[in-house]
Structure 1
Amino acid sequence: MVQPSVFFDLDHATVHRLFHGVDRVWDLLPRLPELLASWLDGRQVVEGEVMTGAVIGTEPVFVAAGARVEPGAYLCGPAYVGPGVVIRHGAYVRQNCILLDGAVLGHASEMKNCVMLPRAKAPHFAYLGDSILGSRVNLGAGTKLSNLAITAAGHRKTFLVEVDGVVHDTGLTKLGAVLGDDVQTGCNAVVNPGTLLGRGVRVYPNTNVRGYHGAGKILKLRQHIETAEWR
């Protein structure tokens, strides 16, 4: 239940290439530096539009034809930016990121050591750390995919993920979220480190999510609001 095919449609050629030989879905993340090194071959290749005011760092990057990097965005690299990708004003793409066809990283959004599969979107004020976003995922404004947990003694720990009663040691001290195809989050949702969401899961606004939730679930926050006269 933790294979990539459980979370993602692998028919897309580049998605299939990404996950070739990956048994547990999160095992893609530590492979990103090596994978990008083989894809980029130490070069910067810019075929798409890098608008005046956007910045590309000194690391290897590929920006495909039809992609657009808007003013104020910073593309650090190593990074692969596929066709039709939009990196909007003020976005920050840090090390070891892959954005596939039609993905959108929006204003004031940051990603690091992440993969966005085709048409995944983090349009507004999002943080994506050490995470994989499936095809057509949409993050509501302010969604945070946090990636680090600290013990009471102040030490980092490797993440344990429980799926259907089986506990898996990921071996990773940083792990954000794995969001299956078509997952959607509401505004200001917080997805805690090591969270796995199956295909089509819906997360309501302001909800704090952790653990594994299978395909098709709806995760809701219920709160009681009181009203009173102020004069």
Structure 2
Amino acid sequence: MPKTKDFSLFSGAFFEDPASFKYAPHLQDFKYSWEVLPQLESILNRILTDKKKDAVAQWQGIDASSNGVFVQGWVELDRPVFFESARVWLDAGVLLEPTAIIKGPAVIGAHTSVRQGAYIRGNALIGEHCVIGHATELKNSIIMNHSEAGHFNYIGDSILGSHVNMGAGSRLANLQFRTAEEKLGGFIHPIEFESGNHKIQTQVEKLGSLLGDHAELGCNVTLCPGTLLGRRSWVYPNTTVSKGFYPPKSFIVPKERKTKIQDQ
């Protein structure tokens, strides 16, 4: 673990070209990367206020209400659409497949695909050319450009950089184990993690992961709550990663990763 205390989004440990994400200016005024997540709803509402005038209000094959957006058919948008009652904005080129559900507030960038059975539970800021795939669930998270969560993924209270790939079944856990006292008392201790000789207090009760640009998660990887993965890092399939900061270009593998063959 490095001794650095600079866990800001734009410290250089996570993103190589943050300016390429059009909403980056909304994310700059935070000392620590995770501080943006409790403010994501208000950030999205500001973005939606600016976009309201630039979009049509309905689209065939999409059912929208205050509960959210339900995709009834195969849809490819040739212009931006803003469903005001649902607080959902979809940019031109977005591809939607039947049965996807999107709750607001949500902003989904150009040419992003939301596939069959995807569930976006609100507070979602998604960039351009992304994939939210079959049976993938996402809430209170930011995904930058060209990132993919294509199959059976969970993304909760997390931030993904650009060109991130989540292998099938990989998950970003956001809720740590709770004691009986926490459950019965209706409270959750904030997540903390160690970096070098320092204990970092996040002051947030739910925190998934921060994945830097070009991060690769193998199939069935689980990242524990409070995992910060530097840019260009890889995680070997079927690995559980403990919370903490992992520097750029980390290659995380289990101690025993070789398949062994033995006689019956």
Q: State the TM-score, normalized to the length of structure 2.
A: 0.80
- Cα distance in 1, alignment partners of residues 262 and 198 from structure 2: 45
Which range is displaced more, 20-29 or 199-208? Answer: 20-29
Question: Does the Cα contact within 8 Å between 2:167 and 2:220 map onto a contact in 1?
Answer: yes
The corresponding residue for 1:198 is 230
**1:19-68 deviations in Å (ceiling 9; x for gaps):** 22122111111110100111113969866997747761642010001111
The corresponding residue for 1:10 is 18
Greater relative CO (CA pairs within 8 A, separation 6+): 2
Q: How does 1:70-85 map to 2 (within 5 A)?
A: 70-85=97-112
Which range is displaced more, 202-211 or 150-159? Answer: 150-159
SS state of the match for residue 122, structure 2? coil
- Cα distance in 2, alignment partners of residues 34 and 167 from structure 1: 29
Q: Which amino acid aligns with 1:37?
A: N
SS state of the match for residue 22, structure 2? helix
Q: CA 1:193 to 1:51, structure 2 compared with 1: closer, same or farther past 3 Å?
A: farther
- Cα distance in 2, alignment partners of residues 177 and 111 from structure 1: 12
Question: Does the Cα contact within 8 Å between 2:21 and 2:144 map onto a contact in 1?
Answer: no
Deviation at 1:84, TM superposition (A): 1.1
2:230 paired with 1:212? no
Q: CA 1:110 to 1:204, structure 2 compared with 1: closer, same or farther past 3 Å?
A: same
Q: How does 1:120-199 map to 2 (within 5 A)?
A: 120-155=147-182, 156-199=188-231
2:55 paired with 1:22? no
SS state of the match for residue 31, structure 1? helix
> Which of 114, 137, 141 is the aligned partner of 1:87?
114
How many residues in Structure 1 have an aligned counterpart in Structure 2?
A: 229
Which range is displaced more, 12-21 or 44-53? Answer: 44-53
Which range is displaced more, 19-28 or 47-56? Answer: 47-56
Deviation at 1:97, TM superposition (A): 0.4
**1:169-207 deviations in Å (ceiling 9; x for gaps):** 111000000001110000000011010000011000000
Q: Which amino acid aligns with 1:228?
A: D
- Cα distance in 2, alignment partners of residues 158 and 172 from structure 1: 5
- Cα distance in 2, alignment partners of residues 7 and 106 from structure 1: 24
Computed over aligned residues only, the root mean square deviation of the Cα atoms, in angstroms, reads 2.4
SS state of the match for residue 199, structure 2? strand
> Which of 94, 115, 138 is the aligned partner of 2:142?
115
SS state of the match for residue 4, structure 1? coil
Question: Does the Cα contact within 8 Å between 1:51 and 1:71 map onto a contact in 2?
Answer: no
Max radius of gyration: which structure?
2
Gap runs ≥5 in structure 2: 1-5, 71-84, 183-187
- Cα distance in 2, alignment partners of residues 139 and 15 from structure 1: 22
Question: Does the Cα contact within 8 Å between 1:160 and 1:168 map onto a contact in 2?
Answer: yes
Question: Does the Cα contact within 8 Å between 1:50 and 1:70 map onto a contact in 2?
Answer: no
Q: State the TM-score, normalized to the length of structure 1.
A: 0.90
Question: Does the Cα contact within 8 Å between 2:9 and 2:28 map onto a contact in 1?
Answer: no
Question: Does the Cα contact within 8 Å between 1:54 and 1:71 map onto a contact in 2?
Answer: no
Q: Which amino acid aligns with 1:66?
A: G
